[in-house]
Amino acid sequence: MLKAILLVTLAASASAITTPSSMLSRGVQNFPATESTPLLVSGGSSSLQSTSLIEPATTVSLFLLWYALNVMYNIINKRVLNKLPHPMSISTVQLMTGSMYYLVTLLIRGKPKLPCPVHAPAKAIYASAFGHAAGQTATVISLEAGAVSFTHIVKSLEPFFSCVFTFLSTRKVMDFRVYLSLIPVVGGVGLACLDKLSYNHLAFFAAMSSNAFFAMRGVKSKQALNSTELDAPNLFGVVTCLSALMAIPFALGFEGLALFDGLKGEGELIKKVIISGLFHYLNNEVMYWTLSRVTPVTLAVGNTVKRVFIIVASVIVLGNEVGTKSIIGSSVAICGVMLYSLVKMKYDQ
């Protein structure tokens, strides 16, 4: 199962290498619509019918692949952390694995240098990289300290932090209904945190920190995209490479070489750490492919469903104990995230 998911994703990634980056850089508006595709063979109606079936099937497959990568990443991560409690080092190795994957794809494309233009907004890119490194590290610390389900319930609060950082960075005030839609998210997470079965202080504060760092990354990434030649997938690749470099000294300073000592003679564990890094990078890449085929609203709803998949899978596979308050709180929070996404997109137009 694990190898099948990885092979399918790598095959899809290889086929996407020849896709023009402009197609992926700005989302659905640059993706050619099925209805406008010329009919190249006789019997146009049957060709159109065939195409109309292939496109939705491909989109659904991408969503399922995205969910599978996320679920497998979280489950593998937790199992590795149970045996090797070195979250900062594991997070850094995962970022390094993603960086190596991105650099290899650049070589395959015949672009041996990082696509970082001279006029790129360096401050925004470096700030985004710092947010990515710190957010990833905080997430892995939370996963190591507590249950996967609890971490993702708390991470449902990321939209709240996005609103705060957007205001602090751009002074942009959103419609008051957008802020009101965050109430069930905050309330649901608060209720889930009252459940003593799953609550953990370190897991909570680490997940909250990751929310703040990822919100900062989102704001700074948007600034970089609006003022640089980099498209979204390449910006994420550059940010991943920079974040890996930033994370290395912190991992060595806090945990030293303990991870490598623990990995000696553990071939299976080494493989899992590397695969988790690939899954972490590839799930973001698949997200960009998915966005190129659907509207942002559909992607936002899909992202909410993704979190449900992760929580349910962690409960089933890892046997996390979940109390009544956690179930009710997470349900309210996740519905709140979906409401926030829909309301925000409506009033952003």
Looking at per-residue confidence, does 219 or 121 come out higher? 219
Q: How many domains does the chain have?
A: 1
Beta-carbon contacts of residue 246 (< 8 Å; ≥ 6 apart): 129, 130, 133
Range with the poorest average pLDDT among 25-29, 208-212, 216-220, 243-247: 25-29
Beta-carbon contacts of residue 262 (< 8 Å; ≥ 6 apart): 83, 84, 86, 269
Query: pLDDT tens for residues 10-58?
Result: 555 544 444 444 444 444 334 333 333 333 344 455 554 556 678 788 8
The answer to whether 190 touches 330, Cβ cutoff 8 Å, is no
Predicted TM-score of the model (pTM)? 0.79
Inter-CA distances, 134 with 28, 55, 141, 217, Å: 30, 37, 10, 10
Mean pLDDT throughout 126-134?
Answer: 94
Domain membership of residue 206 (yes or no) is yes
Domain membership of residue 12 (yes or no) is no
Domain membership of residue 146 (yes or no) is yes
Whole-number pLDDT of residue 305? 81
- Residue identified by tokens 């790129």 is 120
* Distance separating the N- and C-terminal Cα atoms of the chain: 42
User: What does the angle CA 127 – CA 338 – CA 295 come to, to the nearest 5 degrees?
Assistant: 75
Identity at 30, one-letter amino acid code: N
> Residue 210's pLDDT band (boundaries 50, 70, 90)?
very high
Whole-number pLDDT of residue 78? 94
Domain membership of residue 244 (yes or no) is yes
Domain membership of residue 156 (yes or no) is yes
Mean pLDDT throughout 232-243?
Answer: 89
Domain membership of residue 36 (yes or no) is no
Whole-number pLDDT of residue 345? 79
Domain membership of residue 110 (yes or no) is yes
**Containing domain of residue 185, as a range?**
58-348
Whole-number pLDDT of residue 231? 79
Whole-number pLDDT of residue 337? 84
Beta-carbon contacts of residue 100 (< 8 Å; ≥ 6 apart): none
Range with the poorest average pLDDT among 114-118, 165-169, 286-290, 325-329: 114-118
Mean pLDDT throughout 59-66?
Answer: 89
CA distance 142 to 75: 14
What is the length of the chain? 349
Q: Is the pLDDT of residue 4 over 60?
A: no
- Among left, alpha and beta (phi > 0; psi -120 to 50; other), residue 244 is alpha
Query: pLDDT tens for residues 310-339?
Result: 888 888 898 877 788 888 988 898 888 888
Looking at per-residue confidence, does 39 or 200 come out higher? 200
Q: Is the pLDDT of residue 128 over 80?
A: yes
Q: Is the pLDDT of residue 134 over 90?
A: yes
Output the average pLDDT for the chain: 80
Whole-number pLDDT of residue 294? 74
> Residue 103's pLDDT band (boundaries 50, 70, 90)?
very high
Whole-number pLDDT of residue 13? 54
Tokens linked to 89: 């080092």
Domain membership of residue 175 (yes or no) is yes
Looking at per-residue confidence, does 325 or 144 come out higher? 144
Q: Is the pLDDT of residue 119 over 50?
A: yes
Range with the poorest average pLDDT among 96-100, 265-269, 293-297: 293-297
